[in-house]
Structure 1
Amino acid sequence: MQTINKFARLCGLGASLTVLMLTGAKAEDSADPIRIVVNNWTSQVVLSNVVGQLLEQTGHTVEYKSSDTQLQYTAIAAGDMDFQVEVWEGSMAEPFEKALAAGAVDLGSHEAVTREDWWYPAYMNEMCPGLPDWKALDACAEKLATAETGTKGRFVGPPADWGKHYSERIQALKMNFEEVPVGQAATLWAELQSAYDRKEPIVLFNWTPNFIEAKFEGQFVEFPTYEPACLSDPKWGSNPDALYDCGAPASGYLKKAGSKNLGEKWPAAAAFLKKVNFTNPQIAAAAAMVDVDGMAPEDAAKKWIADNEATWKTWLQ
């Protein structure tokens, strides 16, 4: 009853309505923990905690499970994990589609629109005339060369488990670049901050929604427009002998994924999770609380819940 009263105050809902909702959920849903996937980028960790904390307030048990970005979909399809709050089209479409075919469930899209691709700070427009066109960047490759890459430009790539194919894109488009992946997302921002402070040229992996867009001025490199055939048909695009000769989706989806067990064991929770819906500004703000303000993800989730009551109330109706 203490948990119910606390949640009633948190929601600003009438106590009788909240009691009805919670007792119904507990009677209907399993007492087993709902296993929420946690990955290695900030917004996903914070939003997973937002969802988890709200589920706990409705009487559910939650367990957070760390996972590789690609292998998580095998685990969801097998029923070893139950919920993923951020499925990005640009880097996860292929394993996500395979997981759906193997039994995972599409829990719907967020309002947020995503993009993941090469990105550079705005001051580089003067250094490399013709940007953001990728050919102009390639012509400027020597200005981005390092001791590590020799005469080739350095592209600071994402962690290897994020499933991107940038080395293949470099080869397919015959670019004078070399990808140098980082071990964790924080290294991307350290590299960017260091270059930005000295106004040195840099091109690196970035994505939106992200706190970066509020802190640094820059833009994405424009590669040949994405089409699904680029990933499966070598004849598509400028290189008839290679895949990946295109950019990433410029307006990609952000979806949610669940195990088939979710609706069977926790139908009330599944109904709630289908309604969970984040916008670009909300996701960027969630990431900024950790990456800019230095909060712990769990504390950032609590603050997000406090700041966005009108949003998550609609998910519980």
Structure 2
Amino acid sequence: MLKRLSAAALGLGLLAGATAAQAADKSLTIAYVEWSDAVVATNVIKTVLEDKGYKVKIVPLSGAAMWQAVATGEADAMVAAWLPATHQAYFEKLKDKVVDLGPNVTGAKIGWAVPTYLTDINSIEDLKGHEDAVGAKIIGIDPGAGLMRASEKAIKDYDLKVKLVEGSDATMVGALKDAYAKKEPIVVTTWTPHWMFATWQLKYLADPKASFGGEETVNTVVRLGLDKDQPEAYAILNAFALSLDDEQKVMVWNNEAGADPAATARKWVDENKDKVAAWK
């Protein structure tokens, strides 16, 4: 996420605004990272809160800046905290300055994936000594992301001679799309939930050394004092939950030409009134 460091600084500037003033006019700021799952969850909760009369601003930041914004109160909440492993470093540093409301998505995971047509590669161990078969590289995402740190660990753990290619969610998916169309070998960093699994036939590589940890959750984290300043919003955020299927369905909608994440969130909320009602 190096390219977003300056954007993060700008985003933090945009976050500036007194918390007391927000409480008075039912305004909320939600920080998020521009990953496909976080875009869905953030826009869905924004829609629900706006339906309850809140003015909601969503601000894209790097993972580190997102956590820092909530910890300082410059943002009221985030629904994109990957725990216990991916965002562990952020959580350990700031856990006393935020409130973790627990999972809004369960069954999440991170790791490396390949197309299923690569029948001889089923485990990260299978890459050892055969790195050239996949171009001696792993297609990554934002530098500094928890998934990238775990990928660096995996490269060391399995003693692989590969390059971890930095990029973004979009560039990683673009490389996968091109390789898949040509049935070429490729290894990508990835996570669940992600729309790519609903679009292409992919498989996670087994990770016997547990470099990527186990199952994760995506949690809702809010600033200190939100329960007192905005009790209704706090209650909705506390109850907010999506299934993997729900998130991946909206991710596929967002991948359609001309899609607007705000509009797809509105569509999902309108089609799932019973689920939304449980959050209120």
Q: Distance in 2 between matches of 1:108 and 1:250?
A: 17
Q: Distance in 2 between matches of 1:291 and 1:259?
A: 32
Q: Distance in 2 between matches of 1:119 and 1:142?
A: 17
Q: TM-score by structure 2 length?
A: 0.85
CA deviations on 1:252-273 (whole Å, 9 max, x unpaired) are 1121110013112101110111
**Counterpart among 215, 232, 245 of residue 268 in structure 1:** 232
Q: Distance in 2 between matches of 1:216 and 1:299?
A: 25
Matched, 1:256 2:251: no
Q: Which residue of 2 aligns with 1:234?
A: none
Percent identical across equivalent pairs?
23
How big is the shift at 1:110? Answer: 2.3
Bigger Rg over Cα: 1
Q: Which residue of 2 aligns with 1:154?
A: 137
CA contact (8 A) 2:114 2:202 kept: yes
Matched, 1:141 2:131: yes
CA contact (8 A) 1:76 1:99 kept: no
CA contact (8 A) 2:127 2:160 kept: no
**Counterpart among 144, 147, 170 of residue 155 in structure 2:** 170
Q: Which residue of 2 aligns with 1:88?
A: 82
Q: Distance in 1 between matches of 2:206 and 2:24?
A: 48
Q: Distance in 1 between matches of 2:231 and 2:219?
A: 19
CA deviations on 1:71-98 (whole Å, 9 max, x unpaired) are 2112211111111112112421221232
Q: Which residue of 2 aligns with 1:50?
A: 44
Matched, 1:109 2:99: no
1:231-242 counterparts in 2 under 5 A? none
CA contact (8 A) 1:79 1:261 kept: no
**Counterpart among 60, 64, 71 of residue 54 in structure 2:** 60
How big is the shift at 1:34? Answer: 1.0
Runs of 5+ in structure 1 lacking a partner?
1-28, 146-152, 227-245
Q: Distance in 2 between matches of 1:299 and 1:169?
A: 38
CA contact (8 A) 1:105 1:259 kept: yes
SS of the aligned residue for 1:113 comes to strand
**Counterpart among 187, 204, 207 of residue 220 in structure 1:** 204
Matched, 1:208 2:172: no
Q: Distance in 1 between matches of 2:215 and 2:258?
A: 29
| Code of the aligned partner of 1:188 | M
How big is the shift at 1:158? Answer: 1.2
Flag as ranges the 4+ runs of structure 1 deviating above 4 A: none
Matched, 1:283 2:257: no
Q: Which residue of 2 aligns with 1:123?
A: 117
| Code of the aligned partner of 1:295 | A
Q: Distance in 1 between matches of 2:186 and 2:123?
A: 15
Q: Distance in 2 between matches of 1:185 and 1:294?
A: 18
SS of the aligned residue for 2:62 comes to coil
Matched, 1:98 2:93: yes
Q: Are the structure 2 counterparts of residues 98 and 284 from structure 1 closer, same or farther at C-alpha, using a change threshold of 3 Å?
A: same
Q: Which residue of 2 aligns with 1:24?
A: none
Q: Which residue of 2 aligns with 1:25?
A: none
CA contact (8 A) 1:167 1:178 kept: no
How big is the shift at 1:294? Answer: 4.1
Q: Which residue of 1 aligns with 2:164?
A: 179
**Higher strand proportion, which one?**
2
